[in-house]
Amino acid sequence: MKYTHLGRTGLSVSKLCLGTMNFGPQTNEAEAFEIMDHAHEVGINFFDTANFYGGPGNPGYTETIIGNWFAKGGQRRHKTVIGTKLYTAMGDWPNDGKLSALNIRRACDASLKRLQTDYIDLYQMHHIDRRTPWDEIWEAMDVLRQQGKIIYVGSSNFAGWHIAQGQEAARRRNLSGLASEQSIYNLLERTVELEVLPAAEHYGLGVIPWSPLQTGLLGGILKKQKLGVTGRSAVKSTNERLERIRPTIQAWEDFCEKRDEDPADTALAWLLHQSAVTAPIIGPRTLAQIDGSLRALDIKLDAAALAELDVMFPGPGGKAPEAYAW
């Protein structure tokens, strides 16, 4: 495994992050335990979850699974950098969601209980809350840090402007502010290159891409369909988008085949070639998928290959405003 720092922090994390959203709805507890144990075996120390994960009608169950795994001992908690998130309402009552000081306090305590730990390494805001002032948010987060309940604060699905707002508000309070931003980022979804990545690099945030394979479209979907392998390729929305971009996906799979590399591994490798990226989130459902993802750490894409992919998957044109103005 290869490691890097999370943005400007001194925290060392693996260059692949284990996503746990499937734990509960698609992966039962015993299987999840095996996946997390194997992640440690191959050196993955960075796990991501959220308080709302767990499946329809069962929010919090994913954190409970992770907490039960921590409780097995064997330094499982000590060896794990755990990131969880808050924002989505966990109930129907007022203040059960978003980023009020009240919900930040309640949500953190509830996550700590489910995770069976006394601290969270990376506490992430799952979405911007436009109605809660930044001073209120930072005061609540600072209280949690002083209590030893959280160590770092991160954001997720923020715009570049939100990152700037948050960091400047933190600066006024002499706080370190955000350590990371978790965004959708892959060859098919490159909007973050306009302003989110420049903002993250300017303020020293590590970028944690989610959906690196874009619901399987970049994971060899055409070959899998020919072989009769189902999975995310069976999702209606995925198939509908595939039909719109089939020639591009075919060119992508041909590109990978010429290099004798798996498309999923190559998609992860492309992200790891982006300077702002700390660790893409992988969501393996089997142990073999974890092992396969490790290949991404060793795939080298030279300037010509990266340029070819830019033609195949044109991004927004670079950073703003040059991407859309003279």
Taken in order 160, 162, 165, 167, is the CA torsion positive or negative? negative
Cβ contact 40:66 at 8 Å? no
123 forms bridges with which residues in the sheet?
A: 84, 153
Number of H helices, E strands in the chain: 11, 10
The pair of three-digit structure tokens given for residue 79, joined into one six-digit string: 């060896």
Backbone phi, psi, residue 313, to 5°: -125, 75
Residue 152 among the catalytic residues: no
CA dihedral 311→315→316→317, nearest 10 degrees, is -50
Using the 8-state DSSP alphabet, how is residue 297 labeled?
G
| Contacts of residue 78, Cβ cutoff 8 Å, sequence gap at least 6 | none
14 forms bridges with which residues in the sheet?
A: 3
The pair of three-digit structure tokens given for residue 78, joined into one six-digit string: 């000590």
Q: Name the E strands within 96-205.
A: 120-125, 150-156, 178-184
Picking from 274, 134, 288, 162, the residue whose alpha carbon sits closest to that of residue 208 is 274
Residue tagged active-site, from 53, 123, 185, 203: 53
Catalytic residues: 53
